Structure 1
Amino acid sequence: MTVPLGIGDPRPPFGWRLPESVPAQTGWQVQVAGSAEALADGRADLWDSGEVDGDDQHARYAGAPLDSRAGAHWRVRVRDADGSWSAWSALARFELGLLRPGDWTGRWISHPAWYADDVDPRVGEGLPLPLLAGEISLAERPVRARLHVAGAGVYYASINGTPVSDAVLEPAYTDFPRRVAAASHDVTALVRPGANVIGIELGPGIAHVYPHQDRYMKFYGSKLSPRAIAELEVHYAEGSSVRFGTDDSWRAAAGATLRSHWFGGEDYDARRELPGWNEPGTDRSGWTPAVIISGDGPAPVARTCPPLRVVERLPALTRTVATDGTPVFDVGVVQAGLVELSVDLPAGTHLRLVPGDQLDDFGRVVQSKPTTGSPIFNTVITGDGPLRWQPRFRYDGFRYVEVQGLPDHVGPDAVTALVVRADNEPVGTFETSVPLINSIHTIIDRAVQGNMYSVLTDCPHREKLGWLEQVHLLFDVVAYNYDVAAYYRELLATIAEAQTEDGLVPDIAPEYVVFADGFRDDPNWGGVIISVPWQLYRWYGDLAVLQDHYPAMVRYLDYLTGRSEDGLLPYGLGDWIGLDKTTPVPLVGTWGYWRAADAMINIATALGRTDDAERYRALAAKIVDAFRRAFHDPGTGRYGGGGQAAELFALDVGAVPEPDREAVLDRISASVDEAGITVGEIALPVLFRILGDAGRHDVLWRFANRTEHPGYGYQVVHGATALTEAWDGPTRGLSQNHFMLGAIDSWFYRHLAGIGQAAGSLGWRELDLAPVVVDGLDAVTARTRGARGDVAVAWRRDGETFRLDVTVPAGSVATVRLPAWPDAKAVVPEIAEPVTPGADGRPSWLVPAGTWSFELG
């Protein structure tokens, strides 16, 4: 977030990347001032870090206290290895939002028909969705204007008929009664002297899921009925300012959206549109006074990560006709977002839009409980003139849209998919010489996008819930491809908010519905509260995230210990969706318990809590000992039934004695070659990590190219355009947009491309660039962005020649490990320093920042 507006952290973290002229940093200095002019004059009136020794490329604000609405400029300079200081960077600006509930003069308001003092999921059922409008008058044109706004459910805000943002489906998922995400907008260009109107459209979203008799519901219940709070602040040239908040002068009316259900669909009647409803001069005398909601209401808290946006438009490629004559539109790929309908039909034409990601044998959209949920549909009634419509208050996962009631003459341009996701910047690319591998990467990325909403969901239709195992088990897959530094910090806040008083972290966050047994309490879901802070620290080098969440981590591990039995954790969901049913549930739960304890050793050490680290080291050793005693069969030498997952977990926790490791790896490798991968989503990242680190790349490569079940290639050859929920998803059904099996993408980047951090490195200080050459793969080109800048690798082999080009960002160093080719002569850059090869025997060199080429031949 380079120029963030309305952030909620009064001690924001700063980060920077080095210019090419400074390949290595030995010191830094950050200055922060209330104005650009002050910094230009050399006055850091808010904070001057002074000259700090070190190569950290991040710092946390430690200056004068920042309050609500504070705006500041900052800059940084760095010292190179020769002791010379760089010039100051360009200025960047940030501005705080409203930090405390008391900073809002506005009140929570709603349409009276949509509000009740008690939490009632039936409030508003069957009623059109509300519009809210507030008219204000400005004495003159302001020099600065900010609109702070928050809402429960889904809201859209406008000023004088113009949207204040291109964000959609605001606000983010939160525990709505406790916290609602607020946004701040620069609306200086939208307001004008005289009359102005602030308009807010409201929908129930996931905050208020009312019972729906004729459509699909994952659950129903109300966290908070639809409502909004807004604050317009205008500043005039002479220095005065005025605030206008939501109050009892606002008016409410019923809009053209007849109803919206987060899971089941949305109904819209264009004939009910109120032209100019959010513009000055409109007669609102017939509107209903808005109701001020009693009590303090939830706390609006400034958002600290990118919002959801439309990131891609996919016009329908074809318009086909099912055997019964129903028109069906195909946008080409399974994705998540909004169906846009563009038609010009007689007023009163009734249309039903049925989204889905599969077709049946008759050409109709398939909906069922295991796939998308059923029934899900949107309805549209046309008005006079051309109509362009999309759902306002909900979204779908789909590839196909069945439009019932559409005349025959309407062509494929009537339907477009608006792809929506959290607007995290894409930073990763990966391409090889093998089309099948490229397709696997593509469908994984499409599934990540389809579930990268304000939380990481597991599918964008049937569930729309923040199941937590993917958040940490697939962190590398997400982070190789997207900048998620701010996004994951916000996810952590939501996860920590869901933690119960006894320390439990539920399997979903926010916990909109309370599930039972392992579906609420499994260490491989709840362990996210420990794993993600460590992963963020490892990836981005931000120690503050460990400091902020350490108490929650301690409480969770204490909770697990309280539920353990002699070092074992005998409950949970097991290795979810695994094909091998022999893996004991207690073995998988105990692995999750050990993983949490093992991570806490590193976290406590990083925070200087040596006593805690020793305590967790003893706990982890106790768990390993219990694991070995409970799950090792001395007669066969196998673990937990001998399946792939059980033996992988045994290797990972260190229960396998060193002399036996190769034999266990051999058994797993032979099993993968014979039967494919039979593990579930919990063991799958472990498999790619364990076999990859052990150099068993030929086994993994053969699996990657496998086109029979089970295998990624099976999905590709059977038409998957996003990763599916099961290995045989395209032919079995289930969700066609589900990224839980996407762990191979990390192996693609880390090993086929060779992009990784060295052991012990933090924030991409020390890189390990070690591409793997396997039979049948002739070239790989990949790029990602670490905390210090872009890391790129491109390699190609042609006959007996191998060429490798690497880019190392300023502030980093890299060990480049070439393939171990007997009798090959290496041509390396003069600046490269040879280093002792590791256990794999690969010739290795150390290089500084820059772009370098290596050859073998």
Structure 2
Amino acid sequence: MVTNLRTCDLTDPLGIEITRPSLSWRLTGVTGQSGYHVQAGLEEGTAGLWDTGETDGPDQRVRYDGRPLASRTAAYWRVRVRDGGGRWSGWSPSARFELGLLSQEDWTASWITHPDWYDDADPRVGEGLPLPLLAGEFTLAKPVARARLHVAGLGVYVASVNGAPVTDAVLEPAYTDFTQRIAYATHDVTALLREGANAAGIALGPGIAHVYPHQDRYMKFFGSKASPRAIAQLEVDYADGTSDRFGTGADWLATQGPTVRSHWYGGEDHDARREIAGWDAPGADRSGWRPVTVRPDGTGMLRSRACPPIRVTEELPAVEKLVAADGTAVFDVGKVVAGWAELRLDLPAGRHLRLLPGDQLDAYGRVVQSKPTTGAPIFNTYVTREGPQTWHPSFRYDGFRYVEAQGLPEHVGREAVTALVLRADNAPVGEFRTSDGLLNDIHTIIDRAVRGNMYSVLTDCPHREKLGWLEQAHLLFDVVAYNYDVAAYYRELLVTMAESQTEDGLVPDTAPEYVVFEDAFRDDPNWGGAIARVPWQIYRWYGDTSAMETHYGAMCRYVDYLTARAEDGVLGYGLGDWIGLDPATPVPLVSTWGYWRAADAVARVAGVLGLDADAKRYRALSEGIVRAFSDRFGAGGSQASDILALDMGVVPADRVPAVLDRVAGAVAGGGITVGEIALPALFRVLGRAGRHDALWRFATSTDHPSYGYQVRHGATALTEAWDGPTRGLSQNHYMLGAIDSWFYRGLGGIGQAPGSVGFRRLLIEPAVPGDLESVTARTGTPYGQVGVAWERGDGEFALDVEVPPGATAKVRLPDLGLRRHAVPDGATPAGVRAYEVPAGRWTFRAGR
């Protein structure tokens, strides 16, 4: 009856630093839960740390409230539940979590680097030199029972033990403000150790922590938060109950490695002839190596990573080797992706290759790179060693579909290039498909763009920007969350936002703030407002209050900052409705709407947290912004102006139908003019008003502007502009992806009932527009998978609904003029039959 036990929304996490972690589970084989009993102990099946006893209630998420947990504590927990009939289940299998190093005193290792890469007074030191390899040896005299490696590095590190990688995570550590926080990871390396001599190795690259200006390469910005360095601490528990600890320090050695340069934006250069076989194995010849430099840096900034890392999630072999007009080889992997182009070659030593990644080809078949598309120039170079060899960059990544390979012998075939697709490894939970191929393709290109920008932060694009622009994080929260489990991921995004907040309360448009932009490119409420919106969105989607509790102060400071800058409730600055097609939308209107959204979120959060005085104050502020908006702007003018006014509820009731008709008519006619800020509200407002036919007309259009235009012109990922495939710009941007929310909520009908949290009370209300014949939609919730599948034809309509245990659903059938074959129970809105159903699989049919 109990399954999917998770700690902090992760499965058996290692190295967490939350001493009161959330514990959650799902049910199977029952409709719901009336009680639970959780036990936690230091061994499986024990309750030495915590025992809730038999507790009444349907909660499937509780917070650990047992004995205080110390560094390195490894705890097991299990749960049993009582169903609605009073029967208790057996105990679940045990889940596990393990704490990391909670204080500076737990760290005995030191930060180290290559001596030629250390001079904090001069960040140029090391530039032009090959990147460091660091290695240390240690001896284990007894059989090992358990071993943990705690490791961090700047900017990017690759760690190994006895010649084997310690993890399949890549591009570690995650983006943070490296002057405030550095994310370390904990790995179980028990299986990699042996009695006797052992060795650990760390290869270092600069990453985004150290972006040095290279005149021959593209760079979005340049600046150094930290030069390359690493820290690692191995903790070994022996079978006899004793323990040992080994860490980076003065006994480690350093040398220059085969990567001769790496630039986060511009490219990576690797000379395979410089590779040192077995450099990170015990007993390696390091006679020419030098003692490392032990840096004076402390360990106070080290914090454990609390979300899934970046991994290789897909491998796409080149589908074709093209030949440009001048004979240059160009490999096509078939889709626009983000990650690594891996070479698999068998060549003699000394062949110099230059690899240019890109999303588009020019008229001569060469890769297109320019400042507004990918940035330029971006290239990786590789010098071959003798024989079979495989290589990809280790310290950076690219966005690409094509790889132009200069210097490659003519006989090399398409098997030489494979795309290793990278992203943050948040579990996929969504599925959407219909009888309409164009809609399926639109969903696919949006999902591909989400993947291409789901790294340690949600980026704008994987080549030109690689920065965490914040507007997408909250405006498209549901697009991301319908498709991926991002409970832990979004909490980590919030930490970076809070770290970027300035003393006066500003949250900049990008977080972490590696480069300080000017004016509205640093300060716009529809970007910085993510700090206020995301905690509320996490609560509504996952039922998790921890983000609201942790960041409530930052939320308030941000809204108070906006209030100090507003005049009579109107915020007069910002970027406006970015990339909108109608310049008539006033910038203050868009910014004031963003200000209201942030204030409204804080009021709601304060209410949930029981902060009644704050809730009253921010509710009054929110209402004042609405009045100011109404007095200053009202409705009318641009399409975005109408949509945002409707979303705020400032349009007088007697005028709402006319305004909706105006917007819906324009949308249905292909005249959409809104930008990325108003676009999610457009789908939300028209969907809520039941204007699905207008949205359907837009969704199935192939004229500019439309999603279909992108598909018909060859887009394999959503592009930066409506006419992106023909205009240029980035070919991997998800900021215009708001329609995917309507796919799930509108066509699939998967939503929450008013007041529901965490999808406990579902509202299943599919729309059946146009000539659409069928839809299948599924997504994950805290209680399990929700599934909807409907089809119609020949005067028949069938709807299948899956409601997970612990949840209930109100199912509203569309009014198709057919007779229903189900027993109605509950409210029946005009023209719609509604059915209240518990967990289970349900089928509803209608016919003549």
TM-score over 0.5 (shorter chain):
yes
Query: Match for residue 828 of structure 2?
Result: 837
* Residue 791 (structure 2) pairs with residue 783 (structure 1): no
CA distance in structure 2 between the aligned counterparts of 1:459 and 1:12, rounded to whole angstroms: 34
The offset of 1:368, in angstroms, is 0.1
| Counterpart among 372, 376, 379 of residue 378 in structure 2 | 376
The offset of 1:798, in angstroms, is 1.4
Query: Match for residue 33 of structure 2?
Result: 25
Query: Match for residue 3 of structure 2?
Result: none
CA distance in structure 2 between the aligned counterparts of 1:558 and 1:506, rounded to whole angstroms: 15
Query: Match for residue 808 of structure 1?
Result: 803
CA distance in structure 1 between the aligned counterparts of 2:347 and 2:673, rounded to whole angstroms: 53
Query: Match for residue 826 of structure 1?
Result: 820
- Give the secondary-structure state (helix, strand or coil) at the position aligned to 2:144: coil
CA distance in structure 1 between the aligned counterparts of 2:763 and 2:294, rounded to whole angstroms: 59
Asked if structure 2 preserves the Cα contact closer than 8 Å seen for 1:176 and 1:298, the reply is no
- Give the secondary-structure state (helix, strand or coil) at the position aligned to 1:775: coil
- Give the secondary-structure state (helix, strand or coil) at the position aligned to 1:344: strand
| Counterpart among 681, 684, 694 of residue 676 in structure 2 | 681
- Residue type matched to 2:54 in 1? E
- Residue type matched to 2:672 in 1? I
Query: Match for residue 759 of structure 1?
Result: 754
- Give the secondary-structure state (helix, strand or coil) at the position aligned to 2:825: strand
- Give the secondary-structure state (helix, strand or coil) at the position aligned to 1:278: coil
Task: Report the aligned-residue RMSD.
Answer: 1.1
Query: Match for residue 141 of structure 2?
Result: 139
- Residue type matched to 1:595 in 2? R
* Residue 71 (structure 2) pairs with residue 68 (structure 1): yes
Query: Residues 199-238 of structure 1 correspond to what in structure 2 (within 5 A)?
Result: 199-238=201-240
* Residue 685 (structure 2) pairs with residue 690 (structure 1): yes
* Residue 259 (structure 2) pairs with residue 257 (structure 1): yes
CA distance in structure 2 between the aligned counterparts of 1:228 and 1:109, rounded to whole angstroms: 6
- Residue type matched to 1:81 in 2? G
* Residue 731 (structure 2) pairs with residue 736 (structure 1): yes
Asked if structure 2 preserves the Cα contact closer than 8 Å seen for 1:754 and 1:793, the reply is yes
The offset of 1:112, in angstroms, is 1.2
Shift in alpha-carbon separation, 1:338–1:626, aligned structure 2, 3 A = same
Shift in alpha-carbon separation, 1:544–1:51, aligned structure 2, 3 A = farther
Query: Match for residue 181 of structure 1?
Result: 183
1:394-435 deviations in whole A, cap 9, x for unaligned? Answer: 000000000000111000000000000000000000000000
CA distance in structure 1 between the aligned counterparts of 2:670 and 2:592, rounded to whole angstroms: 26
- Give the secondary-structure state (helix, strand or coil) at the position aligned to 1:63: coil
CA distance in structure 2 between the aligned counterparts of 1:26 and 1:550, rounded to whole angstroms: 32
| Counterpart among 680, 683, 703 of residue 708 in structure 1 | 703
Query: Match for residue 854 of structure 1?
Result: 844
- Residue type matched to 2:154 in 1? A
- Give the secondary-structure state (helix, strand or coil) at the position aligned to 1:658: coil
- Give the secondary-structure state (helix, strand or coil) at the position aligned to 2:770: coil
1:7-48 deviations in whole A, cap 9, x for unaligned? Answer: 22121111110122x311122222111111xx2xxx411111
1:184-218 deviations in whole A, cap 9, x for unaligned? Answer: 11111111111110000000000000111101000
Query: Match for residue 96 of structure 1?
Result: 99
- Residue type matched to 1:753 in 2? G
- Give the secondary-structure state (helix, strand or coil) at the position aligned to 2:845: strand
CA distance in structure 1 between the aligned counterparts of 2:441 and 2:474, rounded to whole angstroms: 24
CA distance in structure 2 between the aligned counterparts of 1:502 and 1:414, rounded to whole angstroms: 53
Query: Match for residue 794 of structure 1?
Result: 789
| Counterpart among 508, 525, 529 of residue 510 in structure 2 | 508
Asked if structure 2 preserves the Cα contact closer than 8 Å seen for 1:77 and 1:86, the reply is yes
Asked if structure 1 preserves the Cα contact closer than 8 Å seen for 2:354 and 2:381, the reply is yes
The offset of 1:174, in angstroms, is 0.5
- Give the secondary-structure state (helix, strand or coil) at the position aligned to 1:492: helix
- Residue type matched to 1:680 in 2? G
Asked if structure 2 preserves the Cα contact closer than 8 Å seen for 1:833 and 1:847, the reply is no
Query: Match for residue 635 of structure 1?
Result: none
Please, which runs of 5 or more residues in structure 2 have no aligned partner? 1-9
| Counterpart among 464, 467, 484 of residue 465 in structure 1 | 467
* Residue 737 (structure 2) pairs with residue 746 (structure 1): no
CA distance in structure 2 between the aligned counterparts of 1:32 and 1:833, rounded to whole angstroms: 45
Query: Match for residue 655 of structure 1?
Result: 650
Query: Match for residue 168 of structure 2?
Result: 166
CA distance in structure 1 between the aligned counterparts of 2:201 and 2:300, rounded to whole angstroms: 21
Query: Residues 574-585 of structure 1 correspond to what in structure 2 (within 5 A)?
Result: 574-585=576-587
Query: Residues 398-477 of structure 1 correspond to what in structure 2 (within 5 A)?
Result: 398-477=400-479
1:259-318 deviations in whole A, cap 9, x for unaligned? Answer: 000000000001101111100111212101100111425621111111000000000000
Asked if structure 2 preserves the Cα contact closer than 8 Å seen for 1:206 and 1:262, the reply is yes
Q: Which moved more, 1:812-821 or 1:53-62?
A: 53-62
* Residue 81 (structure 2) pairs with residue 86 (structure 1): no
Asked if structure 2 preserves the Cα contact closer than 8 Å seen for 1:141 and 1:191, the reply is no
1:80-104 deviations in whole A, cap 9, x for unaligned? Answer: 2222222221110111111222211
1:161-190 deviations in whole A, cap 9, x for unaligned? Answer: 000001111110011121111111111111
1:710-749 deviations in whole A, cap 9, x for unaligned? Answer: 0000000000000000000000000000000000000000
CA distance in structure 2 between the aligned counterparts of 1:253 and 1:188, rounded to whole angstroms: 27
1:539-566 deviations in whole A, cap 9, x for unaligned? Answer: 0001222111111111111111111111
Please, which runs of 5 or more residues in structure 1 have no aligned partner? 633-637
Query: Match for residue 523 of structure 1?
Result: 525
- Residue type matched to 1:803 in 2? A
Query: Residues 310-321 of structure 1 correspond to what in structure 2 (within 5 A)?
Result: 310-321=312-323
Asked if structure 2 preserves the Cα contact closer than 8 Å seen for 1:575 and 1:588, the reply is yes
CA distance in structure 2 between the aligned counterparts of 1:417 and 1:513, rounded to whole angstroms: 30
1:607-645 deviations in whole A, cap 9, x for unaligned? Answer: 11121111112111111111111113xxxxx43xx1110
CA distance in structure 2 between the aligned counterparts of 1:264 and 1:582, rounded to whole angstroms: 38
| Counterpart among 114, 117, 120 of residue 117 in structure 1 | 120
- Residue type matched to 1:65 in 2? P
- Residue type matched to 1:459 in 2? C
CA distance in structure 2 between the aligned counterparts of 1:199 and 1:560, rounded to whole angstroms: 48
| Counterpart among 3, 7, 12 of residue 3 in structure 1 | 12
Percent identity of equivalent pairs: 66
CA distance in structure 2 between the aligned counterparts of 1:113 and 1:837, rounded to whole angstroms: 75
* Residue 569 (structure 2) pairs with residue 590 (structure 1): no
CA distance in structure 1 between the aligned counterparts of 2:469 and 2:80, rounded to whole angstroms: 42
Q: Which moved more, 1:48-57 or 1:191-200?
A: 48-57
Asked if structure 1 preserves the Cα contact closer than 8 Å seen for 2:802 and 2:841, the reply is yes
Query: Match for residue 7 of structure 2?
Result: none
- Residue type matched to 1:78 in 2? V
Query: Match for residue 4 of structure 2?
Result: none
Asked if structure 2 preserves the Cα contact closer than 8 Å seen for 1:460 and 1:737, the reply is yes
Count how many residue pairs are aligned between Structure 1 and Structure 2: 838
1:204-256 deviations in whole A, cap 9, x for unaligned? Answer: 00000011110100000000111100001111111110000110000000000
CA distance in structure 1 between the aligned counterparts of 2:64 and 2:654, rounded to whole angstroms: 51
CA distance in structure 2 between the aligned counterparts of 1:837 and 1:545, rounded to whole angstroms: 37
| Counterpart among 599, 614, 617 of residue 615 in structure 1 | 617
- Give the secondary-structure state (helix, strand or coil) at the position aligned to 2:559: helix
Query: Match for residue 629 of structure 1?
Result: 631
- Give the secondary-structure state (helix, strand or coil) at the position aligned to 2:497: helix
Asked if structure 1 preserves the Cα contact closer than 8 Å seen for 2:357 and 2:403, the reply is yes
- Give the secondary-structure state (helix, strand or coil) at the position aligned to 2:220: coil
Normalising by structure 2, we get a TM-score of 0.98
- Residue type matched to 1:82 in 2? G
Query: Match for residue 35 of structure 1?
Result: 43
Q: Which moved more, 1:366-375 or 1:109-118?
A: 109-118
The runs of 4+ residues in structure 1 deviating greater than 3 Å are none
* Residue 67 (structure 2) pairs with residue 77 (structure 1): no
Asked if structure 1 preserves the Cα contact closer than 8 Å seen for 2:142 and 2:239, the reply is no
Query: Match for residue 535 of structure 1?
Result: 537
CA distance in structure 2 between the aligned counterparts of 1:629 and 1:526, rounded to whole angstroms: 25
